[in-house]
Amino acid sequence: MDCKASSRTTYTPRRHGAGNPMNTRINSPATLRKASKYLTTADPAMAALIARIGPCRLQVQQDSDLFLSLARSIIFQQLHGKAAETIYQRTCALFPRSEQFTAKDIKRATEEKLRSAGLSRNKQLALRDLAAKVLDGSLPAMEDLHDLDNEDIITTLTTVRGIGRWTVEMLLMFRLGRPDVLPVDDLGVRKGFMLMQGHSDMPTPKALKLHGEIWAPYRTVASWYLWRATDTFTTAD
């Protein structure tokens, strides 16, 4: 059983109002169809890719707890899925009484205890920094993120040790369902663009960002198709 986390903060977000387009989420098949139709019109190469792959099946898994979501991201960094899941579950098992994985649990745990789950020193330091920032109110609660712009969220969350821009972009896309995120440093997205365009070299992040402007405001869906391109194309195509 996956462990759960619970945390509350005193973070006060800079709210942008209920009408802010940043509050839009990819939360229905109709929204995904609308995005795909827009991309088909905006970019002929993307249109061909969409026709080849079919309907977008991007899934958003909403988490209610920011601490657990980021803690899981830290644990999974630089590890293959099965190994990372094993360490994650071992970390959860360190706290059997409450059956919860909380910021207070990490704060109170000794280095030896965390190491017994397979957590490296760097990951322990990152988890402790995350826990400290959650407990002192430096970070928002998950529900507060819905009122913040993408860049505001990235700026805030990357203050945590071990949390970089890419990690927050994944949270924006797959936890918050933000429709207009393009992770230009992601190798899979860059390779997918290369294959879609029939190029022999991957684009630079700067070049991908420039081209990707035509996909706004649905760059998240465009990214999903570029990831799928790596499974669909071969370099011989």
pLDDT, averaged across the chain: 89
Q: What is the 8-class DSSP label of residue 202?
A: P
Average pLDDT estimate for 49-66: 92
Average pLDDT estimate for 137-141: 94
- Backbone dihedral angles phi then psi of residue 10, each to the nearest 5 degrees: -105, 15
Distances (CA, A) of 73 to 28, 126, 199, 222: 25, 11, 32, 23
- Three-state SS string over 203-227 comes to CCHHHHHHHHHHHCCCHHHHHHHHH
Residues assigned a catalytic role? 186
* pTM for the structure as a whole: 0.85
Mind listing the domains of the chain with CATH numbers?
A: 25-59+180-232 (1.10.1670.40), 66-174 (1.10.340.30)
CB 225 within 8 A of CB 46: yes
Q: What pLDDT digit, counting tens, does each position of 74-127 carry? A: 999 988 888 999 999 999 999 987 666 899 999 999 999 999 999 999 999 999
Residue 23 confidence (pLDDT): 54
Residue 60 has pLDDT above 80, yes or no: yes
Mean pLDDT check: name the lowest of 4-13, 32-41, 98-107, 189-198. Answer: 4-13
Dihedral (CA of 90, 95, 98, 100) sign: negative
- Which tokens in the block code for residue 234? 């071969």
